[in-house]
């Protein structure tokens, strides 16, 4: 007599971890698409404003650098220390002190210039990104945030750059940059919609308490940027002629600006979704 086949054992239930990850990835992808739709025609405008900020900051730094180099070259350093007389030493000491104060003043002026540029242009950028009205009140709030948030970061970076070797401290500066980006984006996502100290506290709190929900999106953006940035960076080496190299460099700049614009919108909506427990 043939043996009756037994019933197939029930299939194991799907993994709760894999299921939650799929839901997380699906929601994150949906947020990305939604952020793109909200940007629509604003993408090239925001990218242009980003370019104006970085270009303005670069020009300010280059002008300051030229001025400092000219002042340094004017210092009466002798060819050898043995040729330095007492009067020359006193004159050199006086002019060196004046140069030091000038140098500090230039750093402060450049920092102020960058903070004001950041407050104006980034205020408009974030308002457009989150579809908020850019009003004089919001402009003032961004200026306050620029001095209260960006100012200490600039001072911190300058301090560590002064006391450490820039090459040896690259991992530290990279970590500092990562913390600045994650906390800054979280703060600005809330601050743009409701400017004030509570938004700063909420942004800081979310950046640290929900960092596990932010790591993968930031990592994905980083990988995408490295891949495409490397490809665009190779273009000047494979094209020929001055015009071709220039076009390749422009293409890389355009890619970087568009990437920053889209990534900012995605992260901002991601932060808001985490706060609203939609992710």
- Count how many Cα atoms sit within 13 Å of the Cα of residue 144 in the half-sphere of its side chain: 12
Residue 222 placed within a domain: yes
Instruction: Domain count for the chain, please give it.
Output: 1
Distance between CA atoms of 260 and 71, rounded to whole angstroms? 37
* Residue/partner pairs of 5-12 with CB below 8 Å, 24 or more apart: none
Residue 210 placed within a domain: yes
Band of residue 43 on the pLDDT scale cut at 50, 70, 90: very high
Band of residue 279 on the pLDDT scale cut at 50, 70, 90: low
CB 196 within 8 A of CB 140: no
CB 271 within 8 A of CB 189: yes
Band of residue 142 on the pLDDT scale cut at 50, 70, 90: very high
pLDDT tens track for 248-265: 788 888 999 999 999 999
Residue 5 placed within a domain: no
Residue 1 placed within a domain: no
Distance between CA atoms of 169 and 181, rounded to whole angstroms? 18
Residue 45 placed within a domain: yes
Residue 117 placed within a domain: yes
Percent of the chain with pLDDT over 90: 36
Helix (H, G, I), strand (E, B) or coil at 84: coil
pLDDT tens track for 203-252: 999 999 988 889 999 999 999 999 988 887 777 777 777 777 787 788 88
State residue 15's pLDDT score. Answer: 46
Residue 69 placed within a domain: yes
| DSSP letter assigned to residue 240 | -
State residue 12's pLDDT score. Answer: 47
Which of 11-25, 139-153, 265-279 is least confident?
11-25
Residue 141 placed within a domain: yes
Q: What is the extent of the structural domain holding 206?
A: 31-77+88-275
């Amino acid at each position: 007599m043939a043996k009756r086949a037994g019933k197939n054992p029930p299939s194991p239930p799907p993994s709760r971890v894999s299921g939650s990850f799929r839901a997380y990835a699906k929601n994150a992808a949906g947020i990305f698409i939604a952020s793109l739709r909200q940007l629509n025609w604003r993408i090239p405008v925001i990218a242009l404003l980003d370019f104006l900020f970085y270009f303005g900051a670069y020009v300010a730094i280059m002008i300051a650098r030229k001025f400092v180099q000219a002042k340094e070259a004017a210092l009466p350093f002798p060819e050898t220390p043995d040729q330095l007389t007492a009067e020359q030493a006193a004159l050199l000491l006086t002019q060196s002190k004046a140069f030091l104060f000038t140098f500090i003043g230039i750093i402060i002026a450049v920092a102020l210039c960058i903070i004001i540029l950041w407050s104006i242009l980034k205020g408009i950028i974030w308002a457009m990104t989150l579809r908020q009205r850019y009003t004089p009140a919001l402009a003032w709030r961004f200026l306050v945030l620029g001095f209260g948030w960006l100012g200490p970061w600039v001072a911190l970076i300058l301090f560590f750059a002064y006391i450490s070797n820039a090459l040896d401290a690259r991992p530290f500066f990279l970590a500092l940059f990562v913390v600045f980006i994650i906390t800054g984006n979280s703060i600005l996502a809330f601050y743009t919609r409701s400017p004030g100290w509570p938004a700063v506290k909420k942004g800081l709190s979310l950046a640290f308490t929900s960092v596990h929900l932010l790591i993968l999106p930031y990592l994905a953006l980083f990988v995408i940027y490295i891949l495409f940035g490397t490809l665009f960076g190779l273009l000047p080496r494979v094209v020929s002629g001055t015009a071709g190299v220039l076009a390749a460099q422009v293409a890389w700049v355009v890619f970087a600006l568009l990437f920053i614009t889209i990534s900012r919108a995605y992260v901002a909506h991601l932060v808001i979704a985490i706060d609203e427990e939609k992710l």
